[in-house]
Amino acid sequence: MEDLLQDFLQEAHDLLSDVDNKLVDLEKTPDDKGLLNDIFRGFHTVKGGAGFLNASELVTLCHLTENLFDRLRNGELELTAELMDVIMDATKGVREMFGELGQGVQPQPAEARVIAALQGALSGEAPVPVAPAVAEPERPAAVAAASGEPDWAQLQAAVTGESVQAAAQGELITRAEAAPATPVVAPAGSVKDAQAPSPFGRRVSDRPSGQAGASRRAEERGRENTIRVDTSRLDQVLNLSGEIGLTKNRLTSLRADILAGKSDSETLHALDQAVSQLDLLVSDLQNSVMKTRMQPIGRLFQKYPRIARDLARQLGKDVELVLAGEETEVDKTMIEDLADPLIHLIRNAVDHGVEMPEERAAAGKPAKSLVRLEARQEGDHIVLIIADDGKGMSAERIRAKAVDKGLISEEEANTLDERQSLNLIFLPGFSTKTQISDVSGRGVGMDVVKTNIQKLNGSVEIRSEPGKGSVFLISLPLTLAILPVLLVLLGDQPFALPLSLVREILPIDQQRIQEVGGKETLVVRGEVLPVISLARMLGWPLDRSPEYGVFMQTAERSFILGVDSFAGRDDAVIKSLEDFRPKGVAGVTTLSNGQIVLILDMKELLTDLGQHTDAGTAIRNFEFS
**Do 281 and 301 have their domain in common?**
no
Query: Confidence class of residue 487 from pLDDT cuts 50, 70 and 90?
Result: very high
Q: Kindly tell me if the per-residue pLDDT of 217 is higher than 50.
A: no
**Do 418 and 553 have their domain in common?**
no
Range of the domain at 569: 482-620
The pLDDT, as a whole number, for residue 474 is 92
Of residues 424, 318, 429, the one with CA closest to residue 371: 318
Residue 601, domain CATH: 2.40.50.180
Q: Kindly tell me if the per-residue pLDDT of 385 is higher than 90.
A: yes
The CA distances from residue 238 to 243, 285, 289, in Å, are 9, 9, 10
> In b/e form, how buried is each residue of 240-276, taking b as 16+ CB within 10 angstroms?
beebbeebeebbeebeeeeeeeeeeeeeeebbeebee
CA atoms within 13 A on the CB side of 237: 14
Question: Which range has the worst mean pLDDT, 263-267, 376-380, 488-492, 607-611?
Answer: 607-611
Q: How far apart are CA 67 and CA 102, in angstroms?
A: 26
Taking each helix axis from N to C end, the angle separating 81-102 and 56-73, rounded to the nearest 10 degrees, works out to 150
Of residues 328, 323, 320, 319, the one with CA closest to residue 301: 323
**516 in a domain, yes or no?**
yes
**Do 495 and 591 have their domain in common?**
yes
**Do 438 and 582 have their domain in common?**
no
The pLDDT, as a whole number, for residue 197 is 37
Q: Kindly tell me if the per-residue pLDDT of 382 is higher than 60.
A: yes
The pLDDT, as a whole number, for residue 619 is 55
The per-residue pLDDT of the chain, averaged, comes to 76
Query: Confidence class of residue 95 from pLDDT cuts 50, 70 and 90?
Result: confident
Count of domains forming the chain: 4
- Mean of pLDDT values over 46-56: 82
**Do 445 and 560 have their domain in common?**
no
Q: How far apart are CA 450 and CA 452, in angstroms?
A: 5
The pLDDT, as a whole number, for residue 75 is 87
DSSP 8-state symbol, 543: -
**314 in a domain, yes or no?**
yes
Strands 502-507 and 558-563: unpaired
**Do 164 and 70 have their domain in common?**
yes
Q: Which of 477, 498, 523 is the last residue of a domain?
A: 477
Query: Confidence class of residue 456 from pLDDT cuts 50, 70 and 90?
Result: confident
How would you list the strands of the sheet with 469-477, edge to edge?
319-324, 369-378, 381-388, 469-477, 459-465
Q: How far apart are CA 617 and CA 541, in angstroms?
A: 12
**135 in a domain, yes or no?**
no
The pLDDT, as a whole number, for residue 176 is 29
The CA distances from residue 602 to 587, 605, 622, in Å, are 12, 5, 17
- Mean of pLDDT values over 365-371: 92
**Do 427 and 304 have their domain in common?**
yes
pLDDT more than 90, % of the chain: 16
- Mean of pLDDT values over 473-481: 80
The more confidently predicted of residues 331 and 172 is: 331
**224 in a domain, yes or no?**
no
**81 in a domain, yes or no?**
yes
The more confidently predicted of residues 414 and 176 is: 414
Q: How far apart are CA 35 and CA 255, in angstroms?
A: 65
Q: How far apart are CA 371 and CA 547, in angstroms?
A: 50
- Mean of pLDDT values over 99-110: 83
Q: How far apart are CA 559 and CA 549, in angstroms?
A: 9
Query: Confidence class of residue 265 from pLDDT cuts 50, 70 and 90?
Result: confident
The pLDDT, as a whole number, for residue 1 is 54
Q: Kindly tell me if the per-residue pLDDT of 210 is higher than 70.
A: no
**Do 57 and 156 have their domain in common?**
yes
- Mean of pLDDT values over 465-484: 84
The pLDDT, as a whole number, for residue 45 is 86
pLDDT tens figures, 152-172:
455 445 444 444 444 443 333
pLDDT tens figures, 123-140:
888 766 544 433 333 333
Q: Outline where 417-463 has alpha helix (H).
A: 418-422, 433-438, 446-455
Q: How far apart are CA 215 and CA 219, in angstroms?
A: 7
**358 in a domain, yes or no?**
yes
**120 in a domain, yes or no?**
yes
The pLDDT, as a whole number, for residue 366 is 92
**186 in a domain, yes or no?**
no
**Do 11 and 118 have their domain in common?**
yes
Residue 22, domain CATH: 1.20.120.160
**Do 450 and 500 have their domain in common?**
no
**What is the per-residue DSSP string for 252-269?**
HHHHHHHHTT---HHHHH
The pLDDT, as a whole number, for residue 614 is 52
Q: Which of 436, 462, 477 is the last residue of a domain?
A: 477
**Do 77 and 28 have their domain in common?**
yes
> In b/e form, how buried is each residue of 523-532, taking b as 16+ CB within 10 angstroms?
ebeeeebebb
Q: Which of 477, 503, 532 is the last residue of a domain?
A: 477
Torsion angle of alpha carbons 532, 538, 539, 544, nearest 10°?
-60
The pLDDT, as a whole number, for residue 421 is 87
Question: Which range has the worst mean pLDDT, 199-208, 555-564, 571-580?
Answer: 199-208
Query: Confidence class of residue 2 from pLDDT cuts 50, 70 and 90?
Result: low
- Mean of pLDDT values over 30-50: 87
The pLDDT, as a whole number, for residue 325 is 92
**Do 238 and 208 have their domain in common?**
no
In SS3 terms, 126-195 reads as CCCCCCCCCCCCCCCCCCHHHHCCCCHHHHHHHHHCCCHHHHCCCCCCCCCCCCCCCCCCCCCCCHHHHC
Q: Kindly tell me if the per-residue pLDDT of 293 is higher than 70.
A: yes
